[in-house]
């Protein structure tokens, strides 16, 4: 089971942070049964990719080669998901079944083939590196409030 460190998701909306820390086990958890779920899950993935993009420079020193390759692709994945989200919103439930299939393929391409699931593992550090990660995230916030 992959569980993302809550401190990394501080900038994300409550629903998204809770989803990826408590409910997300694998890519199938992001599949949709209806139009509303599809739109919600597209937004969850957009928010996750945005958070990873914002933390990429901090994650790179801890990443292996495959994870670094994925981090370099996050912008492309984010653009792809944003464009698909716009398409899904325009087309509505009339094309749900078609878009559902496209979404499942996109998720497999991004998480499994593209390696985003490996980056999620990187975010779930449980060692001394975890303290460094939390400190790197919290330090800029503390500096802002102390100045």
How far apart (Å, rounded) are the C-alpha atoms in residues 4 and 120?
A: 6
* pLDDT tens digit sequence for 84-100: 999 999 999 999 999 99
Q: What confidence category does residue 7 fall into, taking pLDDT thresholds of 50, 70 and 90?
A: very low
* pLDDT tens digit sequence for 33-74: 999 999 999 999 999 999 899 989 999 999 999 999 999 999
Check residue 120 and give its pLDDT: 86
How far apart (Å, rounded) are the C-alpha atoms in residues 116 and 66?
A: 10
Segment 41-45 long-range contacts (CB within 8 Å, at least 24 positions apart):
41/103, 42/81, 42/84, 42/85, 42/88, 42/103, 43/16, 43/85, 44/15, 44/16, 44/19, 44/20, 45/81, 45/107, 45/110
Region 113-139: mean pLDDT is: 64
């Amino acid at each position: 089971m992959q569980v993302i460190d809550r401190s990394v998701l501080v900038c994300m909306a409550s629903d998204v942070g809770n989803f990826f820390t408590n409910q997300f086990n694998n890519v199938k958890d992001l599949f949709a049964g209806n139009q509303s779920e599809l739109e919600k899950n597209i937004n969850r993935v957009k928010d996750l990719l945005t958070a990873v993009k914002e933390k990429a420079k901090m994650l790179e020193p801890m990443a292996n080669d495959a994870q670094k390759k994925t981090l370099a692709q996050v912008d492309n994945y984010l653009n792809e998901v944003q464009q698909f989200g716009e398409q899904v919103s325009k087309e509505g439930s009339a094309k749900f079944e078609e878009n559902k299939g496209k979404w499942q393929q996109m998720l497999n391409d991004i998480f499994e083939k593209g390696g985003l699931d490996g980056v999620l593992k990187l975010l779930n550090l449980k060692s001394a590196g975890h303290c460094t990660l939390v400190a790197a995230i919290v330090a800029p916030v503390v500096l802002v409030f102390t100045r």
